[in-house]
Amino acid sequence: LYSNGNLRVRGTGEMYDYDTDSNISPLRENNDIQSVMVDEGITSVGAYIFGNCLNMEKITLPTTLTSIGQAAFMQGDGYTGTVYGLTEITIPSKVTSIAASAFWGTAIESLVIPAAVTEIGKYACRDCAALRSVTVNGTVIGEFMFVSCIRLSTFNIGAKLKKIGSNVFNYCSALTQITYDGT
């Protein structure tokens, strides 16, 4: 972690998975982190690794990434309409799995799920109150994925989609347009 708030994650393979009890990430609740760059060769973002990093706005992920762990960027269970942390993310094209609660409560404004994604856990984007537009090019939309995304207004579903989980759009009061690219 550099003095300007930039964090560089080096290495190869999978990042370590943490939890919220006995094995807490050393990066958790680190408000000095403003941006993160993950090096090429890393294949996963570990579970709970960047939880509650309220000032982390941007992360650059490598093309080698294939999975995003449970609650990797989760910003807590705050009040509906309050967002923190991550404002911008580009999910690399080789990602196949996004675990439960991965982006819960973040401040992302738009999201594109790549075509390679075949697995998404529950509540992946819950309470992302700044989220306005989503494009899903993968084969699945996870259960409860966009619950309480109160500004989500446009949603595009790619032609490869095979499964939509239950209760995907609960409390998405601004959702006015859903388009489907298939037949």
- Across the 183 residues of the chain, what is the mean pLDDT of every consecutive 10-residue run? 96 95 93 96 97 93 98 77 83 98 95 98 95 97 96 96 96 95 88
What pLDDT score was predicted for residue 20?
Answer: 83
Contacts of 94 (CB under 8 A, 6+ apart): 63, 64, 65, 66, 114, 116
Q: How far apart are CA 126 and CA 146, in angstroms?
A: 5
What pLDDT score was predicted for residue 118?
Answer: 98
CA–CA distance from 8 to each of 38, 68, 108, 166 (Å)?
6, 17, 21, 37
What pLDDT score was predicted for residue 183?
Answer: 82
Percent of the chain having pLDDT more than 90? 90
Q: How far apart are CA 52 and CA 105, in angstroms?
A: 9
What does R_g of the chain's alpha carbons equal in angstroms? Answer: 15
What pLDDT score was predicted for residue 80?
Answer: 59
